[in-house]
């Protein structure tokens, strides 16, 4: 059927929607490596020292996930390899990577993307981007409660998060690996409201039908 990739800032709701959507469509979820990621706490403690290592860690796990997802042809991915450079470039722009690290990173990324180009299925079928404001992003980060992501842990995270939001706009506009659509993550509370959850699912299903990726009379197996 389809490979769907989700995108959006920290706390936008990608992992949550990955679970909801994959269940609804009866496909497999692929999650970003967070709680089992040994480099992430190190990065938040000392970003300058660990930015490059963290990026190589994420790039490696994202390469593995997208290869596997494109092979199965039936999956939903939490943040994917297509967002990797957004994070690295932003960190490099604020002085957290040496010129040698930047060159090495882009060569590695380029090599990995050419591998994907050689696969029978080269691209995802749809990107679903969750758009959120800074206030929503922060509320969700607080709600989830990872210590090292809180402003009380490091007040400079406020600038980091605001900058990240600014990087997403041009990234989304430029993204052209597949058709794309945006979900209004400020308005649609797909965790607490059943009605909003259904609205989000309807929007995605309508897009898949419009693209011919789902039959016009398609119905979910699992309604919850």
Ligand X SMILES: Nc1nc(=O)c2ncn([C@H]3C[C@H](O)[C@@H](CO)O3)c2[nH]1
Ligand Y SMILES: Nc1ncnc2c1ncn2[C@@H]1O[C@H](COP(=O)(O)OP(=O)(O)OP(=O)(O)O)[C@@H](O)[C@H]1O
Residues marked as catalytic: 78
What is the DSSP code string of 120-178?
A: SS-S-SEEEEEE--HHHHHHHHHHHT-GGGSTTT-TTHHHHHHHHHHHHHHHHHH--SS
Tell me if 89 is assigned to a ligand binding site. Answer: no
Instruction: Using the minimum distance from each CB to ligand X, give the nearer residue, 25 or 137.
Output: 137
Residue 189 interacting partner from ligand Y, ligand X, none (CB closer than 5 to 8 Å by kind) = ligand Y
3-state secondary structure of 3: strand
Tell me if 149 is assigned to a ligand binding site. Answer: yes
- Phi/psi of residue 130, nearest 5 degrees: -100, 115
Q: Which of 24, 137, 149, 201 binds ligand X (CB under 6 A)?
A: 149
Tell me if 85 is assigned to a ligand binding site. Answer: no
With the C-alpha atoms ordered 212, 217, 74, 180, is the resulting torsion angle positive or negative? positive
Q: Is 29 in the site for ligand Y (CB under 6 A)?
A: no
Q: How far is the CB of 103 from ligand Y (least distance, A)?
A: 27
Rounded Cα–Cα distance for residues 215 and 213 (Å): 7
- Contact flags string 144-163 toward ligand Y, x per CB under 6 A: x-------------------
Binding piece for ligand X, criterion CB under 6 A, among 83-91, 106-114, 196-204, 207-215: 83-91
Rounded Cα–Cα distance for residues 42 and 46 (Å): 6
- Contact flags string 45-64 toward ligand X, x per CB under 6 A: ---------xx--x------
Rounded Cα–Cα distance for residues 127 and 182 (Å): 8
Region of 126 (left: φ > 0; alpha: ψ -120 to 50; beta: rest) is beta
Q: Report the binding-site residues.
A: 8-16, 32, 44, 55, 79, 84, 140-144, 149, 188-190
Residues that bind ligand X (CB under 6 A): 10, 32, 34, 40, 43, 54-55, 58, 84, 87, 91, 149
**Binding site as annotated, residues for ATP:** 8-16, 140-144, 188-190
Q: Which residues bind ligand Y (CB under 6 A)?
A: 8, 10-16, 32, 34, 140, 143-144, 185, 188-192
């Amino acid at each position: 059927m389809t490979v769907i990739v989700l995108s959006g800032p920290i706390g936008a709701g990608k992992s949550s929607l990955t679970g909801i959507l994959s269940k609804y469509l009866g496909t497999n979820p692929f999650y970003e490596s967070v709680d089992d990621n040994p480099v992430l706490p190190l990065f938040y403690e000392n970003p300058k020292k660990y930015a490059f290592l963290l990026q190589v860690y994420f790039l490696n796990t994202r390469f593995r996930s997208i290869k596997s997802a494109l092979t199965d042809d039936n999956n939903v991915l939490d943040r994917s390899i297509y967002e990797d450079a957004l994070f690295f470039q932003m960190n490099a722009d604020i002085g957290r990577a040496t010129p040698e690290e930047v060159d090495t990173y882009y060569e590695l990324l380029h090599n990995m993307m050419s591998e994907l180009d050689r696969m029978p299925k080269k691209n995802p079928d749809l990107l679903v981007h969750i758009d959120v404001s800074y206030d929503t992003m922060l509320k969700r980060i607080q709600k989830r409660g990872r210590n090292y992501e809180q402003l009380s842990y490091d007040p400079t995270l406020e600038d980091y998060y605001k900058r990240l939001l600014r990087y997403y706009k041009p990234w989304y506009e430029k993204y052209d690996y597949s058709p794309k659509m945006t979900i209004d993550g400020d308005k649609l509370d797909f965790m607490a409201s059943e009605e909003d959850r259904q609205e989000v699912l309807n929007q995605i299903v309508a897009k898949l039908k419009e693209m011919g990726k789902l039959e016009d009379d398609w119905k979910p197996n699992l309604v919850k």
